[in-house]
Structure 1
């Protein structure tokens, strides 16, 4: 009886530990999830914007106003983006691919390819600073 109880406790603890590890690895799969970044975009003059990331999209805000929304996926240090809506010169559906790197509290995106030249000008060479989100 003690052996069965021991095995049951062992299996329960193992299950709980695997569940915790699984949850933690899912968080780290997307380092941009639920983050916000502030930077000066060049569109055509420098304009302060915020990139606000959620699970599979990010909004580009100017002040409190969303000026563009894009879907994104991450893959081996690349961020693939597709415009969903907004008033910038890029057409809806326009895709781009950027290398992204988080260095401390900074986000840098370097263009790999993009069907919208204006977006390249807007993102290239900008260091975005992480904004702490108050909960």
Structure 2
């Protein structure tokens, strides 16, 4: 009986440790996951916005209001984005590709290609500063 209980505890602890390690490795694969960045986007005048990254979505906030949402994926040092909804003149499904760099507490995106010219003006070359998010 003691052996079975020990074995059960061992399996449970092994599973929990594997789960923790697995979650940490997924998070390290996406340096933007659960981060927020603010910067002055040109929409069309310079306006302070926040980019809020979740697992596969970017919310663009003006003040506390979400004004646009986009899906995204990362590949090497590139971010692929696709318009979901929002206030820009981009149609839903409009795609863009940018090189992204996280340099210290800064996020910079450089145009590779984008089907929406309005989005280019609001993303390219802007230095976004990381916002500490309290959980």
* TM-score normalised to structure 2 length: 0.86
Shift of 1:122: 1.0
Paired position in structure 2 for 1:57: 57
Paired position in structure 1 for 2:123: 123
63 and 16 in structure 1: CA distance in 2 versus 1, 3 angstrom threshold: closer
Shift of 1:59: 0.6
Q: How many residues align?
A: 135
Structure 1 distance, partners of 2:73, 2:20, is 24
Where in structure 2 are there 5+ consecutive unaligned residues? 1-6
Quick check: 69-78 or 20-29, which moved more?
20-29
Quick check: 94-103 or 10-19, which moved more?
10-19
Structure 2 distance, partners of 1:109, 1:45, is 19
Paired position in structure 1 for 2:109: 109
Shift of 1:20: 3.6
Paired position in structure 2 for 1:81: 81
Structure 1 distance, partners of 2:29, 2:35, is 14
Structure 2 distance, partners of 1:45, 1:32, is 26
CA-to-partner distance for each residue in 1:60-118, whole Å, 9 max, x for gaps? 01111111100001111111000000111111110000111111111011110000111
Matched position secondary structure for 1:32? coil
1:30 and 2:45 matched: no
Matched position secondary structure for 2:28? helix
CA-to-partner distance for each residue in 1:107-133, whole Å, 9 max, x for gaps? 011110000111111111100000011
